[in-house]
Amino acid sequence: MAKVIIFTGAGVSAESGISTFRDSGGLWEKYRIEDICMAGCLQTNREKTIEFYDKRRADIEHKKPNHAHRQIKAICDKYPNDIKLITQNVDDMFEKAGCVDLLHLHGFLREVVCPSCGFIADIGYTKLASYQEHCPKCHELLRPNIVFFGEPAPKYSDMHDFLTGCELLVIIGTSGNVIDIRMLCEYADRTILNNLEPSDAIDDTNIDKVLYQKASVAIDEIVQDIELFLN
Ligand code: OAD
């Protein structure tokens, strides 16, 4: 069981040039969640929903991991049995940094999935239609492998399993609007939070260390803290 959980959100990829969701200028200012990220959108608004995720996929093709992704990859490699990386992010910055064993809670942009038989394909950065619209196994319409609001999030139970053994929880770059940070912190003996600024959805008074600065800056101190904790 990993003693340290690193839990990340969109903020860790902000310095790679990937939009967050709720910061000023974030994706949910430009798009309405109910149009393209709610259960049912693929039935009522398939074209625009698919187009949105096609654009997101194309957008990350040339984006590169930043110092925070690379440092997290390095510390995970150093302590493979003691650290588990869990992310809400659907981008592939950790994969591009070389991480192989991370939990994507909300899906993965590069993948499409068949809602009927569960077939999954990594289509890279292409449009869904350029791959194929129908499942090669059962011919159902494929969809982005992303968890929409109001849909089950099957990886949440894995998250709770990993958190059960957690002693140090490091949270980086999430506003806490989707996953309740207080609930996460209840699992851990010690907690560290790094965001650019305070979030209305996070009560930081019970968090042991709070770093309001860029992840690329905070990460060196965080890595030192993890090392100290594990040694
Ligand atoms: P949000 O956009 O809600 O929050 C981003 C957080 O990152 C904010 O708290 C910022 O302060 C922080 N931040 C921004 N730039 C940063 C930087 N350079 N360094 C450190 N922190 C920075 O993103 P999430 O909390 O990840 O779901 O959003 C959760 C989920 O909501 C996403 O997984 C997504 C979205 O709807 C799906 O796509 C299904």
CB 147 near ligand 1, within 6 Å = yes
CB 70 near ligand 1, within 6 Å = no
* Distance between Cα 231 and ligand 1 center (Å): 31
Question: Residues 23-65: pLDDT tens digits?
Answer: 888 888 888 898 889 999 999 999 999 999 999 999 999 999 9
Q: Where are the alpha helices (DSSP H) in 31-166?
A: 33-36, 41-44, 46-60, 67-78, 93-97, 128-131, 156-164
Mean pLDDT of 83-97: 98
160 noted as active-site residue = no
pLDDT at 24: 84
Pocket probe for ligand 1: among 53, 63, 94, 174, the residue whose CB has the most ligand atoms within 8 Å is 174
Cα angle: 217, vertex 13, 160; to 5 degrees: 100
Q: Closest Cα partner for 103 from 82, 84, 122, 119?
A: 84
Question: Residues 184-218: pLDDT tens digits?
Answer: 999 999 999 999 999 999 999 999 999 999 999 99
What confidence tier does 85 reach under pLDDT thresholds 50, 70, 90? Answer: very high
Burial 162-180 (b: 16+ CB within 10 A, else e): bbeebbbbbbbbbbbebbe
Cα angle: 88, vertex 139, 142; to 5 degrees: 20
CB 27 near ligand 1, within 6 Å = no
Give the Å distances, CA to CA, from 34 to 37, 40, 44, 135, 170: 6, 9, 11, 26, 31
Question: Residues 176-192: pLDDT tens digits?
Answer: 999 999 999 999 999 99
Residues sharing a CB contact under 8 Å with residue 222, sequence separation 6 or more, in sequence order:
71, 170, 172, 192, 194, 211
Q: Closest Cα partner for 172 from 227, 206, 216, 205?
A: 216
Please give the domain boundaries of the chain with CATH numbers for all domains: 1-17+65-106+151-231 (3.40.50.1220), 19-62+108-146 (3.30.1600.10)
- Compare 1 and 205 and report the one with higher pLDDT: 205
Question: Residues 112-157: pLDDT tens digits?
Answer: 999 999 999 999 999 999 999 999 999 999 999 999 999 999 999 9
> H/E/C letters for each residue in 196-229?
CCCCCCCCHHHCCEEEECCHHHHHHHHHHHHHHH
CB 21 near ligand 1, within 6 Å = yes
Mean pLDDT of 94-100: 97
